[in-house]
Amino acid sequence: LAATRDSATAASRLAGSAILHTTLGDIHIRLCPRECPRTVENFVGHSRAGYYNGHIFHRVIKGFMIQTGCPLGTGTGGESIWGGEFEDEFHPSLRHDRPYTVSMANAGPNTNGSQFFITVAPTPWLDNKHTVFGRVVKGMEVVQKISNIKTHAKNDKPLEDVNIISVSVRDLGAGI
């Protein structure tokens, strides 16, 4: 419990929001460090280190979600800031109950690394399978623009790359 509290305290100090600067515009995200401290710590650590810079949205499914965070651009790569994978953090107040939910991509229980996605519709079947760690609060039109781009039928990869240029992180209480 003390380790969890220490992690939560560290995460609270880390960040309350982030801005994904993409080639199609900015996406502003409110993070949830109190509810999922390690997940936010991982995302913020990668963001501040420039890990996501240049990454493409490698998987786009219209009416469902947009996914990024794979350094290979294939959906098969990436790891946490600690190396390897880390555990899920489910919180009863954080559900896939609305569009613009920011959640970790994974390959099964406790396999979180660096990849994440943003939903464009409610996706309740993902609850307790993917860790929700944020909500888009501004730039929804950018998320929609990305979700509507043409993709390869075989692998859902956009025909034209949409990149994360950089990610700006703001401390909790600093506003969006």
- One of 64, 91, 95, 144 is an active-site residue; which one? 64
pTM, to two decimals: 0.91
Residue 146 near residue 66, CB atoms below 8 Å: yes
Residue 171's pLDDT is 83
Catalogue all structural domains in the chain, each as residue range(s) with its CATH number: 2-170 (2.40.100.10)
**pLDDT tens track for 62-121:** 999 999 999 999 999 999 999 999 999 999 999 999 999 999 999 999 999 999 999 999
Q: Which amino acid is at 122?
A: P
Structure token digits, residue 56: 């493409």
**Residue 172: band (very low, low, confident or very high) from pLDDT cuts 50, 70, 90:** confident
DSSP 8-state assignment for residue 119: E
The Cα–Cα gap between 55 and 58 comes to 8
The lowest-confidence range among 6-15, 27-36, 45-54, 79-88 is 6-15
% of residues, the chain, pLDDT over 90:
88
- One of 67, 94, 115, 133 is an active-site residue; which one? 67
Please say if 130 is a catalytic residue.
yes
Structure token digits, residue 29: 């995200």
Please say if 159 is a catalytic residue.
no
Label residues 35-49 b or e (16+ Cβ within 10 Å = b). bbbbbbbbbbbbbee
The Cα–Cα gap between 156 and 71 comes to 17
Please say if 106 is a catalytic residue.
yes
Q: How many CB atoms lie within 10 A of CB 175?
A: 7
- One of 14, 55, 58, 106 is an active-site residue; which one? 106
Please say if 95 is a catalytic residue.
no
Please say if 116 is a catalytic residue.
no
